[in-house]
Amino acid sequence: GSIVAIPSIVLAVRNNLWSILPIDLVALGWVAALWRLRSLSYRPKVIHFIAIVFTVAIGLMVNVGYVAQIFLIAPSVFAVVLLGMRPALVAVAASGFALLVLGFTGLARPELAGFPKDGAAPTILAMANFVFLGTLIIVCCGTLLRKLTTSPADLDVFAASLEGGKKALH
């Protein structure tokens, strides 16, 4: 985090983007606190980590613009890899809801070619596309992880079958 946050802080200060500074500092402090809290178990640490990424994504969307929307996919991917499918679906839903709130409040409004700049349609369409693609990504990741966990057992069955066939041929 510091490898990315420190240059970000330097660039923000150099370019008078003072609103980025608190985002990076809060994220760095939060990560440092998590690192120091050895008593926290795995799940709460992961949830905090995902919350950090979500917070940074929202902060960047508000301060940099809608281009930072890509950061909102990270909490879902981390959730599916580290916690499972249900938490990942919750993360996608939370990100979709955040996109709606940011769009409707005007804090981060998408600009889509052919749509009016201040209407509900661009916000709803951007959110729907985000949720659709986010869901596809986490379902693919979840399926891959599930297959990877069962593949050693499948290989054992296959090896036993080959061994049985070898004995039968012998």
Report pLDDT for 133: 95
Indicate if the pLDDT at residue 35 is higher than 80: yes
- Helix 85-105 × helix 120-169 angle, to 10°: 160
For residue 56, is pLDDT > 80?
yes
pLDDT of residue 154: 66
Contact present, 53 and 44 (Cβ < 8 Å) = no
Structure tokens at 164: 């049985």
Tally of helices (H runs) and strands (E runs) in the chain: 6, 0
Q: Of 34-38, 84-88, 129-133, where does mean pLDDT reach its minimum? A: 34-38
Ranked by mean pLDDT, the top range of 14-28, 108-122, 126-140, 148-162 is 126-140
Given this model, what pLDDT does residue 75 score? 96
Confidence of residue 127 (pLDDT cuts 50, 70, 90): very high
Residue 11, phi then psi, degrees to nearest 5: -65, -40
User: Taking residues 134-148, what's their average pLDDT?
Assistant: 91
| Beta-carbon contacts of residue 148 (< 8 Å; ≥ 6 apart) | none
The span from the CA of 123 to the CA of 104, in Å, is 7
Residue of 157 and 76 predicted with greater confidence:
76
Average pLDDT of the chain, as a whole number: 88
Question: Is 0.75 surpassed by the pTM of this model?
Answer: yes
Structure confidence by residue, pLDDT tens digits, 87-115: 999 999 999 999 999 999 988 888 777 77
